[in-house]
Amino acid sequence: MPLRVVVLVSGSGTNLQALLDAAGPAAYPDGAPYAVVAVGADRPGIEALARAERAGISTFTHRVSDFAHRAAWDAALTESVAGFEPDLVVLAGFLKLVGDTFLASFGGRLVNTHPALSPAFPGMHAPADALAYGVKVTGCTLFVVDAGVDTGPILAQAAVVVQEDDTVETLHERIKTEERRMLVGAVERIAREGFSVEGRTVRFG
């Protein structure tokens, strides 16, 4: 049975698309090691949801502003994701911090991709922060989500050299190219080998 993956998104969904393409029949005529079984979002009308719909994948959307308080939103998100019985939940450009209920349900099988080399530059503006700091190398990190902001144990990283004429946009685009490769490679390994976490150290297998 392929690993059941639910992906949460907020934007253009190129990381999601990479996961979809890599598990498609062209790559695996006899069946991929993982399957994206649903895509969830925190806002409607985004390209990531359109990508899921074009691929014939179930989608759901929960806007924080539609709920009386954040915990109610978190509970609804948890329930929707749980309904698809995922083995792995991937936050791929999901611009919300999940809450305690979500973490309690999916902790240990919840991963997030971040466009910086952790522990440098946590938060929403990592490529801009890296550029402003003047680092010569940055990159991307896939980590197991914990209660902090981009602080969880690291599953995979890839480095990207900063060019002298980079803007935030050109740098982020090059990071995203590496990020998609890193994410797909790690999800394939998780599907084949699984992983374990000991302290801050993550091991496949």
Task: Tell me if 7 contacts ligand GRF by CB under 6 A.
Answer: no
Tell me the two tokens of residue 120.
């440098």
Q: Decide whether 179 or 188 has the Cβ nearer to ligand GRF.
A: 179
CB atoms within 10 A of CB 25: 9
Interface positions, 137-166, toward ligand GRF (CB under 6 A) = none
Q: In whole angstroms, how close is the CB of 192 to ligand GRF at the nearest point?
A: 23
Q: In whole angstroms, how close is the CB of 11 to ligand GRF at the nearest point?
A: 4
Tell me the two tokens of residue 192.
């084949």
Q: Decide whether 83 or 119 has the Cβ nearer to ligand GRF.
A: 119
The residues annotated with a catalytic role in the active site are: 114
Encode 51-90: b = buried (16+ Cβ within 10 Å), e = exposed.
bbeeeebebbbbeeeeeeeeeebbbbbbebbeebebbbbb
Q: In whole angstroms, how close is the CB of 126 to ligand GRF at the nearest point?
A: 8
The answer to whether 175 touches 135, Cβ cutoff 8 Å, is no
Phi first, then psi: what are they for 62, rounded to 5°?
A: -130, 115
Q: In whole angstroms, how close is the CB of 189 to ligand GRF at the nearest point?
A: 19
Interface positions, 110-139, toward ligand GRF (CB under 6 A) = 113-115
Task: Tell me if 92 contacts ligand GRF by CB under 6 A.
Answer: yes
Task: Tell me if 109 contacts ligand GRF by CB under 6 A.
Answer: no
Interface positions, 22-41, toward ligand GRF (CB under 6 A) = none
The answer to whether 18 touches 12, Cβ cutoff 8 Å, is no
Q: Nearest to ligand GRF by Cβ — which residue? A: 93
Residues paired with 185 in a beta bridge: none
Q: In whole angstroms, how close is the CB of 144 to ligand GRF at the nearest point?
A: 15
- Residue linked to tokens 């394939």: 188
Q: Decide whether 104 or 124 has the Cβ nearer to ligand GRF.
A: 124
Task: Tell me if 96 contacts ligand GRF by CB under 6 A.
Answer: no
The answer to whether 110 touches 144, Cβ cutoff 8 Å, is yes
188: Cα within 13 Å, side-chain hemisphere = 17
Helices (H), 46-167: 47-54, 70-82, 100-106, 126-133
Task: Tell me if 15 contacts ligand GRF by CB under 6 A.
Answer: yes
Q: Decide whether 40 or 115 has the Cβ nearer to ligand GRF.
A: 115
Q: Which residues contribute to the site for ligand GRF (CB under 6 A)? A: 11-16, 48, 92-93, 113-115, 176, 179
